[in-house]
Amino acid sequence: MSTNIDKLHDDHHHTPSGIMRWITTTNHKDIGSMYLWFSLIMFFVGGLMALVIRAELFQPGLQLVVPGFFNQMTTMHALVMIFGAVMPAFVGLANWQLPIMIGAPDMALPRLNNWSFWILPFAFTMMLSTLFFGSGGPAAGWTLYPPLSLQGGDSFPFTILSIHMLGLSSILGAINVIATILNMRAPGMTLMKMPIFVWTWLITAFLLIASMPVLAGAVTMLLTDKFFGTMFFTASGGGDPAMFQHIFWFFGHPEVYILILPAFGIVSTIIPAFSRKRLFGYDSMVYATASIALLSFIVWAHHMFTVGMPLAGEIFFMFTTMLIAIPTGVKVFNWVATMWKGSMTFETPMLFALAFIVLFTIGGFSGLMLAMVPADFQYHDTYFVVAHFHYVLVPGAVFAIMAAVYYWLPKWTGKMYNEGLGKLHFWLTTIFVNLTFFPMHFVGLAGMPRRIPDYAVQFADFNAIASVGAFGFGLSQLLFVYILFNTLKKDVTAEDKVWEGAEGLEWTLPSPPPYHSFEEAPKVD
Amino acid sequence: MRISNILLMVIFPTTALAEWETNMPRGVTPTSEVAYDLHMLIFYITVVIGILVFSAMLYSIIYHRKSLGHEPAKFHESTKVEIIWTVIPFIILVGMAIPATKALIMMEDTRDSEITVKVTGYQWMWQYEYLEDDVSFFSKIDNESNVARRLGSNVDVKKVKNYLRNVDNAVVLPTNTKVRILLTANDVIHAWWVPELGGKKDAIPGFVNELWVDIKEPGTYRGQCAELCGKDHGFMPIVVHAVSKPEYYKWVGIQKTNKVAKNK
């Protein structure tokens, strides 16, 4: 079958060469690769900002940067990592994987696909350029709470316009994902036969379409408050600063799941492959993902329990937030049940997926603690929260992305990465990620607020440990880059089905797959 | 020594040594105590769940591996177990929600307070107004910390007493008295937080939030602003002196005399 496809393809597409190939491409693999490379670059840009933060926090007292610049770093680090690193990485994975997983030749809307990628470099050039303005970049936190964000200098309208562009890119990408999944599946692939990664991305795409316009509305209101005399968030004009927080988090909580649902899909793909056993409870995994997505729209105020809500509101949001533990728990239990009595091997993707389960669950536990409003009054806006969301985002989302890259890289390139180096990268990353973020639980509980450039001396020891961990983590990622380039230099040797236990249509294609993936739809029974 | 301490703390977070503070303080008010008790309850529940789940995982990783010749089983679904691991967590959650709701209702009940202090956040200081006694003053970071914290100050901040946690004018509150604290702000959102007195609440310009404290033990309690409020967000500490009621009224008297003297 694979030889047939080879003959059918690669003879009738005329692509420009050089840089124009990348600028004009409408091919899902080219665009997927661009998304992934872009994400990697942003991961290092955001990482450097994190290292500025950790270097300053290594010791009490200010040694390196002034507080205003420190605030620009915390703000930019979050914006870059969320919108520049994690989201584009998942869209890149969707671009590469969705067509070859559902038996399609490409994405449904290839030109739109090109556009949604090429918005990103421009948006980030604009956003990052604000750091070189006289008044500096945005410094009010990525959440842009007014009235503080309204005090911003020249960077303010640039930040907002770039957020608009990022939102546009995400919405276009989401439309493409939905159109592709709903229209281009191979005959016989009913919804409940779709690979779980496809399911999680379908749900994520709906979350994007529902939540991104809300963010656009919120930041537009900020813009008109600042420049056109509206008073949406200004109390003296009849507005309410807390209303911004409600609108922002109505976007923000679905956004959190946009960052993690595709990760669930990746882990649910990798665990069965290396356990040599089918995913346990496929149906319940789909329903759990959908439940998490629906719940994400009625829990937003748990990000702002200290804002002074009525008691009934606090109780409502506490209960709905606690409910999220149930579908999330189901997922973890299903992963463990998938491993149970399997026949496991521990290649790099599996190691990252296993670490994901353990460390994401730890982040889930602290999330459950944060849901308890009386205790949250203590946790809120401390390093305990910083520890929590980094546990779900770094060993959560980022580990899943790393696992996905190791898992599918041989398929994408036909070249096998160096397993020993991959494992070394895994162990360094895992050790340092815990060294960085675990002590943050302690200083947070002991009373250290987040977003401060300097701290009382009782927090010094754990901060020093966290900083050492952060630099170790950052340096370990250079090894990842080395592994990638080292792999790309090799000859094409990978088999069609790279992993013994891998299931799915992508493994029926040659490695690397032909330019138009499935020109003839495969039959799925 | 230190490495063994870290290991000890990772395994038994509550047994940590004093200089390596690892846990939430139990505090000295009814609200801080319920927050602490709830925190520990949920912590232990998650530890037990974690041990169960991770042990199952670890067992599987050790024994169900290909290198040991373990053949994969064929099962891949069971409605029965899915229902079990949906219902059991739900029951645990209900068990957690009941004490949490009770605690919350208690914490939000600001009725029957004896004195009211209005706290206003400014960039970057606090104003305290004792509404019944007509006493009012500003409170900002003490001079020694403020000098030491500058970039390039060359001061060893470890030698500064209560670095970043000291103010020029501390708040004085009576013990064993329900004090209602009204919170607002003049410019941007701040949050007033002294961990040992219980949770924090936002101070929002144009709106008034409230919380209450009933300090059971005399002493000095330190905290700081907990909501990003601009470049000096990290430098607006809060210091509360809790004294007995007679001492408190003596202090109020002195403040009033000073004020009268000033106005003359």
Look at the pTM and tell me if it is higher than 0.90. Answer: yes
Query: Is A372–B9 a contact, with Cβ atoms under 8 angstroms apart?
Result: no
Angle at the Cα of A179 (from A181 to A86), degrees rounded to 5? 75
Name which of A329, A336, A380 is nearest B89 (Cβ-Cβ): A329
Gap between the terminal Cα atoms of chain A:
17
Q: In terms of CA atoms, which chain B residue is nearest residue A288? A: B86
Which band of pLDDT confidence, cut at 50, 70 and 90, is reported for residue B15? Answer: very low
Name which of B104, B158, B229 is nearest A311 (Cβ-Cβ): B104
Chain-centroid distance of CA A345 in Å reads 27
Q: In terms of CA atoms, which chain A residue is nearest residue B110? A: A311
Query: Is B228–A279 a contact, with Cβ atoms under 8 angstroms apart?
Result: no
Q: Smallest Cα–Cα separation from A153: which of A137, A174, A167, A173?
A: A137
B36, B137: one domain: no
B255, B124: one domain: yes
Q: How many beta carbons lie within 10 A of that of residue A9, not counting itself?
A: 17
- What local confidence, expressed as pLDDT, does residue B9 receive? 56
Which residue do the tokens 């889930």 mark? A364
Q: Which of A35, A142, A391, A499 is catalytic?
A: A142
Is the per-residue pLDDT at B16 higher than 60? no
Angle at the Cα of A131 (from A125 to A137), degrees rounded to 5? 105
B12, B38: one domain: yes
List Cβ neighbours of A274 (8 Å cut-off, separation of 6 or more). Answer: A344, A345, A346, A347, A349, A350, A353, A499, A501
pLDDT tens across B147-198, in order? 999 998 888 999 999 999 999 999 999 999 999 999 999 999 999 999 999 9
Evaluate whether A513 touches A498 at the Cβ level (below 8 Å): no
> Could you tell me if B195 lies within 8 Å of chain A, comparing CB atoms?
yes
B203, B129: one domain: yes
CA separation for the pair A474, A466 (Å, rounded): 12
Residue A518 Cα, gap to closest chain B Cα (Å): 29
Which band of pLDDT confidence, cut at 50, 70 and 90, is reported for residue B2? Answer: low
What's chain B's average pLDDT? 91
Q: What's the 3-state SS for A117-137? A: HHHHHHHHHHHHHHHHCCCCC
Q: Which residues of chain A have pLDDT under 50?
A: 1-7, 9, 11
Which band of pLDDT confidence, cut at 50, 70 and 90, is reported for residue B5? Answer: low
Please tell me which residue, B100 or B263, carries the higher pLDDT value.
B100
B71, B98: one domain: yes
**Cross-strand partners of B172:** B241
Query: Is B165–A461 a contact, with Cβ atoms under 8 angstroms apart?
Result: no
Give the domain-ending residue among B91, B108, B125: B108
B48, B121: one domain: no
A255 is catalytic: yes
Name which of B81, B96, B235 is nearest A322 (Cβ-Cβ): B96
A170 is catalytic: yes
Give the domain-ending residue among B49, B82, B108: B108
Name the 3-class secondary structure at A147.
Answer: coil
Name the 3-class secondary structure at A431.
Answer: helix
Q: In terms of CA atoms, which chain B residue is nearest residue A74? A: B228
Backbone angles phi, psi at A212, to 5 degrees: -60, -40
Evaluate whether B204 touches A307 at the Cβ level (below 8 Å): yes
Question: Which residues does chain B have within 8 Å of residue A456's beta carbon, measured at their own beta carbons?
Answer: 162-165, 222
> Could you tell me if B161 lies within 8 Å of chain A, comparing CB atoms?
no
B166, B247: one domain: yes
List Cβ neighbours of A333 (8 Å cut-off, separation of 6 or more). Answer: B53, B81, B85
- Strands (DSSP E) contained in A248-317 are none
* Structural domain boundaries enclosing B242: 115-263
Q: How many beta carbons lie within 10 A of that of residue A1, not counting itself?
A: 11
B129, B225: one domain: yes
Which band of pLDDT confidence, cut at 50, 70 and 90, is reported for residue B19? Answer: low
Query: Is A307–B107 a contact, with Cβ atoms under 8 angstroms apart?
Result: no
Give contacts of B 83-142 with A, CB under 8 A.
Answer: 85-86, 89-90, 93, 96-97, 100-101, 103-105, 107-108
Where residue B153 sits, what CATH number does that domain have? 2.60.40.420
Q: Smallest Cα–Cα separation from B204: which of A236, A402, A278, A524?
A: A236
Is the per-residue pLDDT at B20 higher than 90? no
Q: In terms of CA atoms, which chain A residue is nearest residue B60? A: A340
Query: Is B71–A343 a contact, with Cβ atoms under 8 angstroms apart?
Result: yes
Query: Is A381–B86 a contact, with Cβ atoms under 8 angstroms apart?
Result: no
Which residue do the tokens 């067992």 mark? B59
Query: Is B235–A454 a contact, with Cβ atoms under 8 angstroms apart?
Result: yes
Residue A39 Cα, gap to closest chain B Cα (Å): 28
pLDDT tens across B209-257, in order? 999 999 999 999 999 999 999 999 999 999 999 999 999 999 999 998 8
B201, B220: one domain: yes
- What local confidence, expressed as pLDDT, does residue A14 receive? 66
B100, B136: one domain: no
Residue B249 Cα, gap to closest chain A Cα (Å): 30
List Cβ neighbours of A509 (8 Å cut-off, separation of 6 or more). Answer: A2, A5, A100, A411, A496, A517, A518
Retrieve residue B162's tokens.
């209560």
Which residue do the tokens 């300053």 mark? A56
Query: Is A445–B35 a contact, with Cβ atoms under 8 angstroms apart?
Result: no
Retrieve residue A80's tokens.
């870059």
B64, B142: one domain: no
CA separation for the pair A298, A296 (Å, rounded): 6
CA separation for the pair A286, A331 (Å, rounded): 9
- What local confidence, expressed as pLDDT, does residue B4 receive? 52
Give the domain-ending residue among B74, B108, B142: B108
Backbone angles phi, psi at B142, to 5 degrees: -70, 160
B26, B50: one domain: yes
Q: How many beta carbons lie within 10 A of that of residue B13, not counting itself?
A: 15
Provide the number of structural domains found in chain B.
2
CA separation for the pair A167, A144 (Å, rounded): 15
Retrieve residue B255's tokens.
């403040």
- What local confidence, expressed as pLDDT, does residue B175 receive? 96
Question: Which residues does chain B have within 8 Å of residue A222's beta carbon, measured at their own beta carbons?
Answer: none
Where residue B11 sits, what CATH number does that domain have? 1.10.287.90
